[in-house]
Amino acid sequence: MTIEQINLGEDHKDIKADLKFVTNRTDLIDTTFKKYVEEFQKDYPNVNIEYCYDFAESGI
């Protein structure tokens, strides 16, 4: 399967994952990013999103 063949929001709805989103925009975590995650999790509820904004802690 290629990326062109994936129907976002329709295919692989049973996927489970823990993702770490690295950002320096801490002002957006509780506003814009929160809305994005809420919409994404309507289709993929088993994907957890964690924010990382302490770059020393993240190992980046």
- Is residue 6 one of the residues assigned to a domain? no
Q: What residues pair up with 19 in beta bridges, in sequence order?
A: 49
> Which of these, 55, 60, 54, 51, lies nearest to 20 by C-alpha position?
51
Residue 30 lies in a domain: yes
pLDDT value of position 56: 65
What is the chain's Cα-based Rg? 14
Q: What percent of the chain has pLDDT over 70?
A: 90
pLDDT category of residue 41 using cuts at 50, 70 and 90 = very high
pTM of the predicted structure, to 2 decimals: 0.68
**pLDDT at position 9 over 70:** yes
Per the structure, the count of domains in the chain is: 1
Angle, vertex CA 46, rays to CA 28 and CA 31, nearest 5: 15
Residue 54, in any domain of the structure = yes
- At residue 36 the predicted structure's pLDDT band, cuts being 50, 70 and 90, is very high
Return the percentage of the chain with pLDDT > 90, whole number: 33
